[in-house]
């Protein structure tokens, strides 16, 4: 089966980027969100990103229009029923994801490939909510933020994934202009297995008074040549998402290095999610380009 039509679940930070990239690669793309307002918000972000690419000359005004025409938004599951692949990028919550997959399994054609963009939930735990046939067509496609710019996609297989479906998914990632790497179904896959303990340790260092938010960020940037420090990165990823990922990885491995520090939990409870909510380790509300560090300790 050739992949022609792509369905995306969720039009948040990741879903909007994945939809933009799929439409940009020439696929008819339909995105499902829970409300019209959230579709509007997500599509607003896509418009802005496309305008930036057009300004830079990466795409022409004509291509910008064509990409827009390939994209549509919906609040119904039915409109995804004839998609060849569905990429799910909803909230990092196992129950919510399982509920969604169960609903879609009954609606989609038997050939449809299900792919999750989860950062930490095991693909196996999600796939078992679907029929035995679908389980062979169930994979992980883990993109990175911001999706239109980041080249990597981790392509994840379970012990039941059909070999030809897996190879098709690797090829699909290439068609999206990405560089695929192969990963097994272990919570966090390759990148988050290494990144999450580092991010959590940075928060512990802050809690212990090793350095300030700015000094820890500056150290990792200038001392190691990282493009941004751990707190800037956390605000960018979303601290709610980071917290959910850490909880899931801790439950999976039962190792202290994956345990979310108390400060992270308090920040999430207080609604400090990072850039998307205006405040996280930094305050973006006054001058988003020059955010000021928050007083958290
Ligand atoms: N933020 C990152 O850097 C990053 C990177 C890679 C992977 N991920 C993964 O991508 C997924 C989404 O993360 P995000 O950062 O885009 O979160 P987000 O909070 O920005 O977006 C999630 C969106 O999903 C929507 N949603 C919730 N339930 C839904 C449903 N049943 N159907 C359709 N839409 C629904 C929400 O309304 C929200 O707009 C998570 O699994 C996360 O772990 C995130």
Phi then psi for residue 113, to 5 deg, are: -90, 135
Rounded Cα gap, residues 180 and 20, in angstroms: 18
Across the chain, mean pLDDT equals 97
pLDDT category, 1, cuts 50, 70, 90?
confident
For each of the domains in the chain, give its residue range(s) and CATH number, in order of start: 5-184 (3.40.50.720), 193-290 (1.10.1040.10)
pLDDT at 15 over 90: yes
Nearest CA-CA partner of 114 in 70, 162, 71: 162
142 is catalytic: yes
Give buried/exposed letters for 147-172 (b at 16+ CB in 10 A, else e).
bbeeeebbbbbbeebbeebbebbbeb
Global pTM? 0.94
Note the pLDDT tens digit of each residue in 138-194. 999 999 999 999 999 999 999 999 999 999 999 999 999 999 999 999 999 999 999
- Residue pair 15/31 in contact (Cβ under 8 Å)? The answer is yes
Atom of ligand 1 nearest to the CA of 244: 43
pLDDT in tens, 98-108: 999 999 999 99
Residue of 7, 15, 17, 104 to mutate, ligand 1, most atoms within 8 A of C-beta: 15
At residue 17, the pLDDT reads: 98
Is any ligand 1 atom within 6 A of the Cβ of residue 104? no
Spatial contact of 250 and 258, defined as CB atoms under 8 Å apart: yes
pLDDT value at residue 203: 98
- Residue 96 — very low, low, confident or very high, per pLDDT cuts 50/70/90? very high
pLDDT in the model for residue 69: 98
- pLDDT beyond 90 at 293: yes
Q: How far is the CA of 191 from the centre of ligand 1 (A)?
A: 18
Top-confidence residue, 173 or 1: 173
């Amino acid at each position: 089966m050739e992949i022609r039509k792509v369905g995306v679940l969720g039009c948040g930070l990741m879903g909007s980027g994945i939809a933009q990239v799929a439409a940009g690669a020439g696929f008819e793309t339909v995105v499902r969100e829970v409300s019209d307002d959230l579709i509007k918000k997500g599509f607003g972000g896509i418009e802005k990103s496309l305008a930036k690419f057009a300004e830079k000359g990466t795409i022409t005004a004509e291509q910008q229009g064509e990409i827009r025409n390939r994209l549509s938004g919906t609040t119904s599951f039915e409109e995804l029923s004839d998609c060849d692949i569905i990429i799910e990028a909803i909230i990092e919550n196992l129950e919510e994801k399982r509920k969604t997959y169960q609903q879609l399994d009954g609606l989609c054609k038997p050939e449809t490939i299900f792919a999750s963009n989860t950062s930490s939930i095991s693909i196996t735990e999600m796939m078992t909510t679907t029929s035995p046939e679908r389980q062979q067509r169930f994979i992980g496609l883990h993109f990175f933020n911001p999706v239109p710019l980041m080249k990597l996609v981790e392509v994840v297989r379970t012990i039941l994934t059909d070999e030809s479906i897996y190879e098709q998914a690797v090829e699909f990632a290439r068609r999206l202009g990405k560089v695929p790497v192969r990963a097994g179904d272990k919570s966090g896959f390759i990148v988050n297995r290494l990144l999450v303990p580092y991010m959590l340790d940075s928060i512990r260092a802050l809690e212990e008074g090793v350095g300030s938010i700015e000094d820890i960020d500056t150290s990792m940037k200038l001392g190691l040549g990282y493009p941004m420090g751990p707190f800037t990165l956390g605000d960018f990823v979303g601290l709610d998402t980071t917290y959910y990922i850490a909880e899931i990885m801790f439950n999976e491995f039962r190792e202290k290095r994956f345990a979310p520090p108390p400060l992270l939990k308090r920040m999430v409870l207080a609604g400090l999610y990072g850039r998307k909510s205006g405040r996280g380790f930094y305050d973006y509300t006054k001058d988003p380009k020059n955010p000021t560090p928050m007083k958290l300790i």
